[in-house]
Structure formats: structure tokens, C-alpha cells
Amino acid sequence: MKGKLITFEGIEGCGKTTQVDRACRWLERQGRSFLRTREPGGTEIGRQIRRILLDTKNQALDAMTELLLYAADRAQHVRELIRPALLRGDWVLCDRFADATLAYQGDGRGLDRETIATLNGMATGGVQPDLTLLIDLPVEVGLSRAIRRNHQEGLTTAEGRFEAEETAFHDRVRRGYLRMAEAEPERFRLLDGTRSLDEIHRQILSLLSSYL
């Protein structure tokens, strides 16, 4: 495929969405054609799935149902948006992708990794990130930022289902991400989320520049 898929990953409140924003502004200035998107909720169907996944009222959501909904969101997303953009030769900057399912539903919820990998393969049809930027930081720092942001944006019940999980859950997610980064050093780049926004942005630009 001609384009590049660049994914941003990390625990709650790691600052990845801000970094996606800033990277996109830079790409605009470069005159580069790109698609900015996210999971869950990159498509209209996906936005409906996102509401189910993140609403704190959905306490009854079973872990397997949750996994299948993330896979369903991804299948729609890849077919409707990501693959066509890559075929056009565009860059795709995606706020979370298949690694998030391994970290959250695998390490976090304890679901079987092989099952998740199989579902990821079905959902993506083999589309894989060229580069994954993992912004890492301690769970307590990330969670307090995320909870503050959700309060400010009035998202506490609409989008707070994962923020409401205990610290141990987020610790498992963090460690899961770090293990994946260690296992695939050619694809992952680890960024220190406790650094300033400007510093992280500069590191991201130097990584993206090497693709231009």
C-alpha cells in the first residue's frame, strides 16, 4: 500500500490526542495529504459503537461483547476509511488501533491473546501500522489528567467507563503496551509522557520527518 499508517497509543490521559492534533497541524503546513481518525468511533457506525462501549451506564457489558464491539468498530473503520486512504497514498494518523485491544482487552481484562490476535486479523484484513508512537507515563498521572478532562468536557458518564476501572487494571494495560513495544522495536517508538508537550511534539516531528 502506498500510504503510511501511523498509530498513537498509551494509557488514559497520556496526551496522545493533543499530540495527534499537533502532528496534524504540522502535516497541514507541509501540504501533506492525510486522514486523521480514531478508534473507537472513526466512522458513523463506529460512533454508535463508541457510545455503547464508553457509557458508564453499560455496567452489564460482558468482556467478550466488548472485545467483539471493538473488532466490529475496527472492521468498519478499515474498510470504510483506512484502507481507501492508504490506497490513495495518504498518511493515516490514528488515535488507537489494534494494539489497544491487546493491551486493554488482553492485558487489562485478561482475555486470550490468540483470540484477540485472530479477531484483529479479521478486522484489519492484514492492515498494520507502519509506525506506532507509544506515549508512556505512570498510571496515577494519566488517570488524574483523564478524569479532570472528562469533568471539564462533561463526559464523566458518557465516556468514563474505562477511567472508572481500578488502578491495577490500568497498570496491566501500561505493562502490556510496554511489552509490545519491546517485542517490536522496529515498529514502536516509546515516548516519555511526563516530558513537556513541546518536547514530545518535537520528537514526533523528527520521527515523522524521516518518512517525508
Judge contact between 116 and 101, C-beta under 8 A.
yes
104 binds ligand TMP (CB under 6 A): yes
CA–CA dist 207, 212 (Å, integer):
10
12 binds ligand TMP (CB under 6 A): yes
Q: How far is the CB of 29 from ligand TMP (least distance, A)?
A: 25
Check the CA dihedral 207-128-99-162 and report its sign: positive
Q: How far is the CB of 69 from ligand TMP (least distance, A)?
A: 9
Closest to 3 in 3D by CA, of 22, 25, 27, 26: 27
Q: How far is the CB of 108 from ligand TMP (least distance, A)?
A: 7
Residue closer to ligand TMP by CB (options 35, 100) is 100
Which residues, 110 to 169, sit near ligand TMP by CB under 6 A?
162
Residue closer to ligand TMP by CB (options 95, 136) is 95
Count of residues engaged in binding ligand TMP, rule: CB under 6 A: 13
Which residues, 59 to 78, sit near ligand TMP by CB under 6 A?
70
Strand order through the sheet with 188-192: 34-38, 91-95, 4-9, 131-136, 188-192
The Cβ-side half-sphere exposure at 176, using a 13 Å CA radius, reads: 24
Binding site for ligand TMP (CB under 6 A): 12, 38-40, 54, 70, 95-96, 100-101, 104-105, 162
